[in-house]
Structure 1
Amino acid sequence: MKSFFWLNTIAVFLLVSASMAQEVPLFNGKDLSGWHADVPEKDKNPTIGPSFLVREGMLVSLGTPQGHLITDAIHENYRITAEYRFPGETGNCGILVHASTPRSLYGMFPKSIEVQMMHENAGDFWCIVENIEVDNMVERRGPKEAWGITEGKNRRILNLTDGSENPPGDWNEMVIECYKDRVRVWVNGDLVNDGYGATASRGQIAVQAEGAEVEFRKLVLEKINGLSE
């Protein structure tokens, strides 16, 4: 009987340990280890102030100078959970998944699929030299002849809901699930986008500085073996 008990205890321990091992804190709450910034304006003015910093245990995108904070590591089949807010004036920001070649669009944006965080637009997709499909494409992306993934094309795919974001200044939770060619997004528990046929399935993860200050108090990645129910 004791042997059976200990075998069950060990089995539970191994299952819990395996689950915990899948979680990767993208931000450690102390510094920007594991990330690097790409800020084009620094090419001409290397002494310009930072676009990203750590403040009171939070990762902060200051919004300017515009650029991206990019993971050193490449990830595949994962779920990101981000808790964020605009502490002051609301505006634009985003999390980029499957990022690769830097400065592929407008000399600024890395090749990727952006999950928009802009206030009142959280969960929109933006195609950045990568593509993704959704249901009701014409309704959500506009006339097919205007679609594209480069400058001047219709790269925005509208989200599924309105009103999923909390009031300005309050914290929001965004969950981004990337598995094979699928990208799904939840904002505060609402499924706000569901894409498939993505032209990339792995890459780096990036956070934008695109005009507005955004605080992240949580930024965690979990490896997944399939889609959520």
Structure 2
Amino acid sequence: MRLLSYFISLFLFAGLRPECSQPKADAWIQLFNGKDLKDWSVKISKHPLDDNFGNTFRVEDGKMIVRYDQYKNFDEQFGHIFYKKPFSAYLLAVEYRFVGDQVAGGPGWAVRNSGAMLHCQDPKTMGVDQDFPISLEMQLLGGDGQHERHTANLCTPGTNVVMDGKLFTPHCIDSQSKTYHGDQWVHAETLVLGDSLVKHIVEGDTVLTYEKPQIGGGNVIHYDAAVKKDGQLLREGYIALQSESHPVEFRKVELFDLSPYLNNPKQLRAILRQLQTRKR
């Protein structure tokens, strides 16, 4: 797995021609089917697994949406909706937008804030009062109409990563993305290769890269200590989307499974080149 960082640097930037057939459209897994949430499990802090408190996560007009109209106060009820199975190596693509106003009681930092959680712990192992799953977060932020505010940042609830050859332990780091104001749709992707390499990509531009995701650090509470094995590399995990007190909508959540190609560098190179140039 350690060689994958070298391979991906070569594959994505060497300008080589693809060496296998174009990936078929049906090779993409539609995690969200546009109709219902049957393949997803909800875990909201202070509530048991699969208690979709306040109908927080719902489907309307073909979109997965997060709403708080049945909340009196947010009261730190951070929520996550998990896809039914874990993945190890993949390209995840989401299209999201922020709408409306933050619910009463939401923290100031959570205005126009959501995220795609990667390599999550199994939601069945989360404590009832646990706020965030042990995971990597591709943090999704919307602009406030005035200030620069990057998206596809990295936050690390219960995790650490390696950046520039050194263990990175702060909780969050900004990406190099543009700021996206208003209610516009944004296309964000993340390339995850097991415990080797992760890239955050916004509208086709790579905005953040890190390596060796692993359990460690803080910024998660009320977890089971048996699950938080600090120093353990994260080779796979669940994918989740957040409810952090601001209404957000997702109209696309899809994944291309790269695990079948990890032991064939030539084929992996071709697949990644083709995925890089595909129409969004």
Q: Which TM-score band (shorter chain)?
A: 0.7 to 0.9
Unaligned runs of 5+ in 2: 1-20, 69-73, 102-110, 143-148, 215-233, 262-267, 274-280
Deviation string, structure 1 residues 159-191 (Cα, Å, up to 9, x no partner): 1x15x2432111100011111221101112221
Aligned residues with identical type, % of pairs: 25
Q: Which residue of 2 aligns with 1:157?
A: 173
| Structure exhibiting the larger radius of gyration computed from Cα positions | 1
Q: Which residue of 2 aligns with 1:198?
A: 213
Q: Are the aligned partners of 1:51 and 1:66 in contact in 2 as well (CA < 8 Å)?
A: no
Q: Which residue of 2 aligns with 1:24?
A: 29
Change in 2 beyond 3 A, CA 1:218/1:48: closer
Q: Which residue of 1 aligns with 2:150?
A: 121
Q: Secondary structure at the match of 1:49?
A: helix
Unaligned runs of 5+ in 1: 1-14, 142-146, 148-153
Q: Which residue of 2 aligns with 1:182?
A: 197
CA distance in 2, matches of 1:19, 1:191: 23
Q: Which amino acid aligns with 2:131?
A: M
Q: Are the aligned partners of 2:78 and 2:132 in contact in 1 as well (CA < 8 Å)?
A: no
Q: Which amino acid aligns with 2:164?
A: D
CA distance in 2, matches of 1:66, 1:203: 20
Matched pairs, number: 198
Deviation string, structure 1 residues 88-133 (Cα, Å, up to 9, x no partner): 24511000000015447x7211111011002223121111222212
CA distance in 2, matches of 1:136, 1:76: 22
1:193 Cα shift? 0.7
Q: Are the aligned partners of 2:79 and 2:242 in contact in 1 as well (CA < 8 Å)?
A: yes
Instruction: Verify: 1:85 aligned to 2:97, yes or no.
Output: yes
Change in 2 beyond 3 A, CA 1:36/1:48: closer
The TM-score with structure 1 as length reference comes to 0.76
Q: Are the aligned partners of 2:119 and 2:136 in contact in 1 as well (CA < 8 Å)?
A: yes
The TM-score with structure 2 as length reference comes to 0.63
Q: Secondary structure at the match of 1:170?
A: coil
1:136 Cα shift? 8.5
Instruction: Verify: 1:110 aligned to 2:133, yes or no.
Output: yes
Where do residues 39-78 of structure 1 align in structure 2 (5 Å cutoff)?
Answer: 39-43=44-48, 48-62=53-67, 65-78=77-90
CA distance in 1, matches of 2:100, 2:90: 31
Q: Which residue of 1 aligns with 2:277?
A: none
